[in-house]
Copies of this chain bind each other. A is one copy, B any other.
Amino acid sequence: MTFSGSLLDPADRYRNDENWIKARLDDSQSRYLVLWTLQVLVTGDEALALVWLTRSDVENELPGAFAAAPVFLGVDAEGAAYFAVDADGVAGETAPFPGSGQFLELRATASRLQGGEAGILARARSMVDWHKRHGFCACCGQISYITRGGYMRKCSNLACGAEHFPRVDPVVIMLIIRGDNCLLGRQTRFPDGMFSVLAGFIEPGETIEEAVRRESHEEAGIRVGAVRYVASQPWPFPSNLMIGCEAEALTEEITLDTQELEAAFWVSRADIRRVMAGDKTLGFSLPASVAIARQLLDRWVGE
């Protein structure tokens, strides 16, 4: 599953140890991944690799880059520490580190990375983005500061002192099945012609299965019975946990919520296979394999 499989140990045990974190930031063995406008520095052509810089590499190009605390990503098997650095605010409008690689958007990058690097990247992107949008305390409005290697922000107002933690937003994504057909839908923002399975955020006070049933009914008017969990995927745009399920439809008639979907239809397993084989005559395309939506479809047609 793309965006999973990091081989780093996230090493929660070190995060409370400020001295350990400080020592690693000064350690020449430590390595830094730079994000700029939420894109990531990579090298390579078809197969890509993340570019891991030393602290002096980063500071030579971007003085002041360490004023905002880097996010601790974990340690490798030899004990070397890895961090993410946000170049926004210290870099200009042209990409820094032109001699080291190129900055690419994550969706275009993830499936071309090897050895679990896309999992590291998912953590780095979600965490850096969270800090960008959470500089202030939601309880009292005062400035908050980074602590615990980036895994907590604490309010600077001593009378408040609220602690804030990175978000992970759980989302249900479900292949709705009726006999040998499944339901596909499209949102207006999708690329032309692309259809996918339905999805939606889990709300407070519901189970995974209840969220699947609610979203299926809200978006397409379909009543769902049995729900089976299949697999999950981190999706760092900005920080979703995609919870992939198969859902048995009890009804067939589609009633669209046009705020959510512009079209939806039932399609047979055979037709899904034809589209996967490259047949364009059916007039629709499917998500790329980077997305769990495609994994759910691949699994179903392979059964």
Chain A residues at the B interface, C-beta cutoff of 8 Å = 1, 3-6, 10, 12-13, 16, 119-124, 126-127, 130, 133-144, 151, 162, 164-170, 201-210, 214, 218, 229, 231-234, 236, 239, 241, 243, 257, 259
Q: Does the CB pair A205–B170 fall under 8 Å?
A: no
- The CA of A136 and the CA of B164, in the complex, are separated in Å by 13
Residue from B123, B136, B209 in contact with A206 in the complex, judged by beta carbons closer than 8 Å = B123
- The CA of A16 and the CA of B239, in the complex, are separated in Å by 24
Q: A205-B120, A234-B205 are in contact. Are A135 and B133 (CB under 8 A)?
A: no
- The CA of A205 and the CA of B201, in the complex, are separated in Å by 17
Closest residue of chain B to A292 (Cβ to Cβ) is B207
17 A-B contacts (beta carbon < 8 Å) = A6-B206, A10-B214, A12-B218, A13-B218, A13-B257, A122-B205, A126-B204, A130-B204, A135-B140, A141-B141, A165-B201, A166-B203, A167-B167, A202-B241, A205-B234, A207-B234, A208-B232
Q: A135-B138, A241-B170, A257-B13 are in contact. Are A207 and B236 (CB under 8 A)?
A: no
Q: Does the CB pair A232–B204 fall under 8 Å?
A: no
- The CA of A94 and the CA of B142, in the complex, are separated in Å by 31
